[in-house]
Amino acid sequence: MSTTSTSTWTDHVDRYTDEVTSRLADITQAARSGELDPAIDLLVAALERGAVIQAFGTGHSEAFAMEIAGRAGGLIPTNKIALRDVVLRGERSVDDLGGAALERSGDVAAELFAISPVGEGDVFIIASNSGVNGSIVGLALIAKEHGHPVIAVTSLEHTSRVEPKHPSGLRLSEVADVVLDNRAPFGDATIEVQDGVPVGAVSSITAAYLAQLLTIGVAARIAATGETPPLYISANIPGGDEHNSVLEDRYRGRIRRDA
């Protein structure tokens, strides 16, 4: 590799690092100033009444739901809803999972809600960088119709510049009770290696950071009351499976842990 190309590569690394760290710093400051508190309030209240946190995201935003539900250091009373559930537990064909049609469909939301283990008092946390696809907005609307609070994680910059795909004409940010901005730019990518060729997406990183801050906030709030937060420990350390199984049994039939 030439000195010139090496220099260009490290310049890109530095630029991207700056793009990521500046956004994480902004979210950190927002957390310190209380921006995340309304979401933490809803999540803690749900767990205190014995309810479950329902997490949903499509495309790359499914990674956010995975950060919320079913991971080491995460809260146990959490359930991940995924588009593939309409094939695994519904009557859809696996062919329906191809492409983006299902993600953009507002009709699939009713199917998802019907086959999900949603209980009274559950709170929904839904992630979508664009915040306009039909399945995302549709599930948020149905959750609200059934009396469930909805927390949105989205890019306010991006969603404000694109048209909603749900028949209601609404964006996720316009449906949710609480909106958290993931600070991703329009189009998600942050730098260019060539004119007009964007690269370096950030929404997955900033959303994962938000997920962990919310989890920490909820756990700290519960611990402050003298109670033990219902948290997973890694199944890959001694005693992990036993610890997790005991707590999972409290929510049997209400949380799913699919491969």
Residue ranges of domains in the chain, CATH in brackets: 3-251 (3.40.50.10490)
Written as tens digits, the pLDDT of the chain (259 aa) is 555 567 689 999 999 999 999 999 999 999 999 999 999 999 999 999 999 999 999 999 999 999 999 999 999 999 999 999 999 999 999 998 998 999 999 999 999 999 999 999 999 999 999 999 999 999 999 999 999 999 999 999 999 999 999 999 999 999 999 999 999 999 999 999 888 889 999 999 999 999 999 999 999 999 999 999 999 999 999 999 999 999 999 999 999 988 7
- Distance, in Å, from the CA atom of 202 to the CA atom of 151, rounded to the nearest integer, reads 20
Q: Which residues contact 165 (CB under 8 A, 6 or more apart)?
A: 104, 106, 132, 133, 134, 137
Q: Provide the pairing of β-strand 197-201 with 189-194.
A: antiparallel
The reported pTM is: 0.95
Residue 133's φ and ψ, nearest 5 degrees, are -70, 150
